[in-house]
Amino acid sequence: MWEPISIKELSIDIQNSEQLLSHGLLKFWNLIKILPAKWVELEYGLEGGGFWAVGILGNHVLWFNDIEEGFNVSAYSIYGRIDQYQCEQDELHVCLYKLYNGNNF
């Protein structure tokens, strides 16, 4: 049976990815990261009590989809609520690289 990722497991995953970041990407990450917090996502996120949001840039939230086991970027219009479900299976450093380089999300 599926269980949501714990904050401890998420923190380990984030720490492992931080070790892979270049100096510039680490500086970018340090600017946008937030303390992980559960955000609501209405399509698939209710079962696990929401998804862990880990970063914010403008009106976009960087979050971990523990159903698909990967980091994603989605728009948000209300703080604390992910507007659109995403199912990328990116590691944090890959997702950050895409965000840093202005990929359209």
Mean pLDDT for 46-72 is: 94
With 0-12 / 13-18 / 19 or more C-beta atoms within 10 angstroms meaning exposed / middle / buried, residue 101 is exposed
Q: Is there a contact between 22 and 11 (Cβ–Cβ < 8 Å)?
A: no
* DSSP letter assigned to residue 88: -
Q: Where are the beta strands (DSSP E) in 1-105?
A: 33-39, 51-57, 60-65, 70-75
Kindly give, in sequence order, each residue whose CB lies less than 8 Å from that of residue 70, ignoring residues fewer than 6 positions away.
64, 87, 88, 89, 90, 91, 95
When pLDDT is cut at 50, 70 and 90, the band that residue 81 belongs to is very high
**pLDDT at residue 19 is higher than 70:** yes
Task: Write down the pTM of the prediction.
Answer: 0.93
